[in-house]
Structure 1
Amino acid sequence: MDDWKHGKLYAMVVCPVYQLPTRTSHIYQQAGARSVCIITYTHLAVFVRYTKASSTTKSMELVHEVFKTVESMNPSKDAHIYWQAV
């Protein structure tokens, strides 16, 4: 899941919500273990709106907080645990 990070600390995968497993999947476990944040296009739209309403700096701080949240998660296959944290 993280071969394409090329040594970066964090990475983000953005995809349609309908393509994500709703209950359990190894992707949620791997996301936490490998510091890869999985978000939907809806989440991305929220980040864009937040940037327009506040500032790029505040938006980047928020994204960084999400990355740190994913990184600090106890890896679990449970989708509910992942999405509640994110």
Structure 2
Amino acid sequence: MRRPSSEARENRDAFGPLLIAASLKDTKGLENDAGWIDERRFVGNVSAARHVALKAIVEKSASGYWGSADRLSYEFRETRPFFK
């Protein structure tokens, strides 16, 4: 079995706070998470498709759709435990 790349492991570790922020309805945490999502995309550590999926979680939360954001974040983690 092939091991995930260091970028994929870093992305998974960085994703944890987004998952928690969506679960706890933490707007400040989500603002910070939106920044790292854009930063990691800018330097090429997150693919365009993953960037769109992660931004959707932030946007749902920012719009007050916390349940949807929470569901999306857990689905994202289950289907893409390590991602680029």
Structure 2 length-normalised TM = 0.37
* Structure number having the greater strand percentage: 1
Structure of greater Rg: 1
Structure 1 length-normalised TM = 0.37
* Structure number having the greater helix percentage: 2
